[in-house]
Amino acid sequence: MRIRSSAREVAERWSLVLAFLGAFVFFAVARPNSFLTWDNARAILDDSSVLCVLAAGVTVILVIGEFDLSVGFVAGLAGAAGVSVMAFHGWGVGAAVAVALGAAAVAGVASGIAVAYVRIPSFIATLAVGSIAAAVELAITKTAIFEGLSSSYVQIATTRVWTIPLRAIIAAGVVLAFLLLLRTTVFGRHAAAVGDNSAAARLSGVPVERVRVIAFMLAGLAAGIAAVLVTSSATQYYPNLGTGYLLPAYAAAFLGLSLGGGRRFNIVGSYIGVLLLATVTTGLTMMNQPSWVAALVQGVVLLLAVASVSVRRGGTIGR
């Protein structure tokens, strides 16, 4: 027996890739001299690296059928924790990164426990954890801005490997790691099963609670990595550095849904979703459009993408 799929299904499945290519071609024709350059491609990769990492974390949460609204706040907390141990205690770069990732992972585990064991709906649990994370962040930094971070810390973002920014390579590495995690490991399969049918997963012997906690920890970890990338490239820490990333991270993941047949959130889809958003933003900026146009186009694209999937599925998304 062969797996049959209609031409329409194929078209729908690849609609995201087509949209990305379409946007790329559009801007390449409109601004051949500035858009279609190696510098620009590099800039898009570089600019989107933070979002890539956050979107990968968010995708894991969506795969288990939950929401994590705390990722932006957790990134802020992680940035504050990492930078402040360097500034206040003179710790090294490695230790600072470890502290940042540790703080983010702890926040993720807290959300995970609240969702998995206390059974608080993830939507509200992660709002609460996010609020606490934001509070702790401000308590650590007293709303100060830390400038003049050590050059070795800044190099995390600015180093170039064969002209490619290290930041983009790290982001690609994280995306690849999450991809392999979801695709090839027992955890990945368990996570997908929990998201698809948690009752059946439980009856199949999947440790549902543990899977949920690990997923939230991974999302926290991703937020921590994102925080390191943000602070090192900005060469400074500023309060609430992660708040602007929440919406585009979810937008990217939902754009990627079409690549999973409209049912499965997937890392590759989220990654292409991020690239699409970054391309549109960059391209519109090059065409001298005001920044609200980019936000408008992103919103419309997201609505269309999700609506097409939703209509086909009879009104349910990602379930």
Site residues (vs another protein, CB under 8 A): 1-3, 184-187, 189-190, 192-193, 196-197, 199-208, 260-261, 263-264, 319
In sequence order, what are the residues at sequence separation of 6 or more whose Cβ sits closer than 8 angstroms to the Cβ of residue 159? 165, 166
Taking a C-beta distance cutoff of 8 angstroms, is the pair 229, 282 a contact? no
Residue placing its CB nearer to another protein in the complex, 226 or 306? 306
* Residue 112 C-beta: closest distance to another protein, Å: 17
Residue 105 sits at φ, ψ, to 5 deg, of -65, -40
Write the DSSP symbol of residue 164: E
Residues in the chain: 319
Residue placing its CB nearer to another protein in the complex, 181 or 247? 181
Identify the residue whose tokens are 């998304």: 317
* Residue 177 C-beta: closest distance to another protein, Å: 13
Distance of alpha carbon 211 from alpha carbon 232, whole angstroms:
32
Distance of alpha carbon 114 from alpha carbon 125, whole angstroms:
6
* Residue 187 C-beta: closest distance to another protein, Å: 6
Residue placing its CB nearer to another protein in the complex, 239 or 261? 261
Give the residue among 113, 103, 116 at the shortest CA–CA distance from 74.
Answer: 103
Residue placing its CB nearer to another protein in the complex, 50 or 211? 211
* Residue 202 C-beta: closest distance to another protein, Å: 5
* Residue 306 C-beta: closest distance to another protein, Å: 16
* Residue 220 C-beta: closest distance to another protein, Å: 20
Give the residue among 299, 108, 92 at the shortest CA–CA distance from 220.
Answer: 108
* Residue 203 C-beta: closest distance to another protein, Å: 5
Residue placing its CB nearer to another protein in the complex, 190 or 212? 190
Residue placing its CB nearer to another protein in the complex, 18 or 200? 200
User: Which tokens sit at 241?
Assistant: 């550095």
Residue placing its CB nearer to another protein in the complex, 161 or 203? 203
In sequence order, what are the residues at sequence separation of 6 or more whose Cβ sits closer than 8 angstroms to the Cβ of residue 192? 63, 182, 264
In sequence order, what are the residues at sequence separation of 6 or more whose Cβ sits closer than 8 angstroms to the Cβ of residue 147? 235, 236
* Residue 261 C-beta: closest distance to another protein, Å: 8
Taking a C-beta distance cutoff of 8 angstroms, is the pair 271, 222 a contact? no
Write the DSSP symbol of residue 290: -
Residue placing its CB nearer to another protein in the complex, 3 or 7? 3
CA distances from 10 to 18, 256, 303 (A): 11, 15, 20
Distance of alpha carbon 135 from alpha carbon 141, whole angstroms:
10
* Residue 115 C-beta: closest distance to another protein, Å: 17
Taking a C-beta distance cutoff of 8 angstroms, is the pair 212, 115 a contact? yes
Residue placing its CB nearer to another protein in the complex, 41 or 177? 177
